[in-house]
């Protein structure tokens, strides 16, 4: 049975998902014990004495993040090793019992509010240190108490990022997470926060390499939010090969063909997460392996410009600041974003829309030579466009500038060099009902 249009168009984002979607590009900060042991996954047996940054400067982190034109940051408040970066009452395994002795979540929250950045929390459910892990309700009580501290003591939190990795704890047991209980704590304390990855609001794109699908749909089968499956696909070992891997078996998860016969659908938009370095944590030997500007531009165009958000990890140096190669790259990236997308060449142009909304024509006073096309749909009306072409007029004929599939929150298409025209046209070839375009811009 084919799915009805009415049903497809009834699936729209929640207010919290709409707010999150506007952020588009934000930072991940993996910082903690692993910086002092040069590991990716701690064992949980590390002594808090090891944690001793001498120059921790969350203002510097936020300066770098803001210069990259990112709008938020998510901190690993606790990674799999169980070491907590905040002043928690529920364990001694924290910064407060280390030579550093200060609350890093509080410091970062302050730095964020000075710069207008939003703060998110990564709290690893997998805990290799705590003896309660693997003991059912006792650990869930602990995890909820940690969430409660983090969501009530540090102002507004925009995201709780729940990792799928689930291994054994210190007693060799695995925990069966009580996800619904965790979600209830978040909804209760921070109703505007999105629950990402192992949560129902933001979907993991399915790899850590920085790729997303050619057509990234936000309306997908509800089964995509199944935590067991997400955990199964996510990293099972501390392994670089995994971080480079891009599974190709799930390229189409949202076309009408793929949704055939599936009634249970949700709005579950994608996030692309990757690191600026090979590892999630800082390793001095990777100072020469910071991603190039061209790589980051390409990931940005694919993700932000492909109806997904871009979560870029930048791991600080053990001493507590973002190292020079990463800081430089972030600034270059921010400069490129700003210079590429600040002047819309269609500002003040005259637009006309065909009766069925499938053709949008635009005329500019003088010929324009854009580098990028930007389209956006009004997603409060669902995600509708399935295929489009952009044409321009040259010598009294229409030429194709570019073609694309889905739009959703945002589609950016790089345009071929050398086009110059004052007449442009968007043709929508395939759409779920009438198009609801919000932005048609050329930069």
Q: Is 307 in the site for ligand FUL (CB under 6 A)?
A: no
* Helix, strand or coil, per DSSP, at residue 290: coil
394-401: Cβ within 8 A, 24+ apart: 394/419, 394/421, 398/425, 401/373
Q: Is 146 in the site for ligand FUL (CB under 6 A)?
A: no
* Cα–Cα nearest to 39, from 333, 349, 355, 281: 281
Phi/psi at 70 (5° precision): -85, 155
* Cα–Cα nearest to 20, from 409, 314, 297, 280: 409
Q: Is 133 in the site for ligand FUL (CB under 6 A)?
A: no
Stretch that binds ligand FUL, among 159-167, 173-181, 262-270, 435-443 (CB under 6 A): 159-167
In the complex with ligand FUL, the residue whose CB is nearer, 146 or 235, is 235
Max CA separation in the chain (angstroms): 75
Tell which one of 11, 165, 293, 301 touches ligand FUL (CB under 6 A). Answer: 165
Least distance between ligand FUL and beta carbon 232 (Å): 12
Question: Six-digit token pair at 83?
Answer: 């070491």
Q: Is 234 in the site for ligand FUL (CB under 6 A)?
A: yes
* Cα 253 to Cα 82, 256, 310, distances in angstroms: 35, 9, 19
Which residues between 383 and 422 bind ligand FUL (CB under 6 A)? none
Q: Vertex 199, ends 195 and 203: CA angle to 5°? A: 90
In the complex with ligand FUL, the residue whose CB is nearer, 58 or 273, is 273
Q: Is 111 in the site for ligand FUL (CB under 6 A)?
A: no
Stretch that binds ligand FUL, among 136-144, 162-170, 173-181, 401-409 (CB under 6 A): 162-170
Which residues between 267 and 296 bind ligand FUL (CB under 6 A)? 273, 280
**Helix and strand tally (H, E) in the chain?**
11, 18
In the complex with ligand FUL, the residue whose CB is nearer, 46 or 163, is 163
Q: Is 163 in the site for ligand FUL (CB under 6 A)?
A: yes
In the complex with ligand FUL, the residue whose CB is nearer, 317 or 384, is 317
In the complex with ligand FUL, the residue whose CB is nearer, 63 or 271, is 271
Q: Is 140 in the site for ligand FUL (CB under 6 A)?
A: no
Question: Six-digit token pair at 305?
Answer: 């410009």
Q: Are 325 and 282 in contact (CB under 8 A)?
A: no
Q: Is 217 in the site for ligand FUL (CB under 6 A)?
A: no
In the complex with ligand FUL, the residue whose CB is nearer, 94 or 313, is 313
Distance CA 125, CA 334 (A): 33
Least distance between ligand FUL and beta carbon 25 (Å): 17
Least distance between ligand FUL and beta carbon 415 (Å): 34
Least distance between ligand FUL and beta carbon 235 (Å): 4
- 374-403 per-residue burial string, b: 16 or more CB within 10 A, e: under 16: bbbbebeebbbbbebebbbbeeeeeeebbe
| Exposed / middle / buried, residue 141 (Cβ in 10 Å: 0-12, 13-18, 19+) | middle
Q: Is 24 in the site for ligand FUL (CB under 6 A)?
A: no
| Run of H or E including 159 | strand 157-162
In the complex with ligand FUL, the residue whose CB is nearer, 120 or 408, is 120
In the complex with ligand FUL, the residue whose CB is nearer, 81 or 103, is 81
Distance CA 159, CA 73 (A): 9
Task: Tell me which residues touch ligand FUL (CB under 6 A).
Answer: 40, 163-165, 234-235, 273, 280
């Amino acid at each position: 049975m084919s799915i009805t249009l009415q049903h497809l168009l009834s699936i729209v984002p929640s207010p919290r998902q709409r707010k999150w979607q506007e952020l588009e590009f934000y930072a991940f900060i993996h910082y903690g014990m692993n910086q002092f042991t040069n590991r990716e996954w701690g064992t949980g047996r590390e002594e808090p004495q090891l944690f001793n940054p001498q120059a921790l400067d969350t203002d510097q982190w936020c300066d770098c993040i803001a210069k990259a034109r990112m709008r938020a940051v998510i901190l690993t408040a606790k990674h799999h090793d169980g070491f907590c970066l905040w002043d928690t009452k529920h364990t001694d395994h924290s910064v407060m019992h280390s030579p550093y002795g200060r609350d890093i979540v509080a410091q970062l929250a302050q730095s964020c509010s000075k710069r207008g950045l939003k703060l998110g929390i990564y709290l690893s459910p997998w805990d290799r240190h705590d003896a309660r892990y693997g003991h059912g309700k006792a650990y869930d009580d602990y995890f909820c108490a940690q969430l409660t501290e983090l969501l009530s003591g540090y102002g507004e939190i925009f995201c709780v990022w729940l990792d799928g990795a689930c291994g054994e704890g210190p007693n060799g047991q695995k925990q069966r997470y009580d996800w619904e209980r965790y979600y209830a704590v978040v909804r209760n304390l921070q109703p505007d926060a999105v629950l990402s990855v192992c949560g129902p609001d933001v979907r993991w794109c399915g790899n850590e390499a920085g790729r997303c699908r050619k057509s990234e749909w936000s309306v997908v089968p509800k089964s995509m939010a199944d935590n067991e499956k997400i955990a199964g696909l996510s990293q099972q070992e501390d392994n670089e090969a995994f971080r480079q891997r891009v599974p190709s078996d799930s390229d189409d998860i949202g076309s009408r063909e793929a949704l055939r016969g599936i009634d249970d659908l949700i709005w579950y938009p994608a996030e692309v997460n990757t690191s600026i370095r090979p590892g999630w944590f800082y390793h001095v030997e990777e100072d020469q392996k910071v991603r190039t500007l061209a790589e980051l531009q390409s990931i940005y165009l694919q993700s932000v410009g492909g109806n997904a958000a871009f979560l870029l990890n930048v791991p600080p140096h053990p001493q507590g600041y973002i190292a020079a190669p990463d800081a430089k790259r972030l600034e270059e990236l921010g400069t490129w974003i700003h210079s590429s997308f600040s002047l819309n060449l269609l500002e003040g142009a005259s637009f006309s829309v065909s009766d069925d909304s499938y053709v949008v024509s635009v005329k500019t006073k003088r010929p324009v030579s854009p580098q990028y096309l930007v389209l956006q749909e009004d997603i409060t009306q669902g995600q509708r466009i399935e295929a489009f072409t952009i044409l321009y007029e040259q010598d009294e004929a229409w030429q194709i500038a570019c073609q694309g599939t889905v739009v959703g929150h945002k589609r950016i298409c790089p345009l071929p060099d050398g086009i110059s025209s004052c007449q442009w046209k968007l043709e929508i070839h395939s759409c779920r009902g009438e198009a609801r375009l919000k932005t048609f811009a050329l930069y």
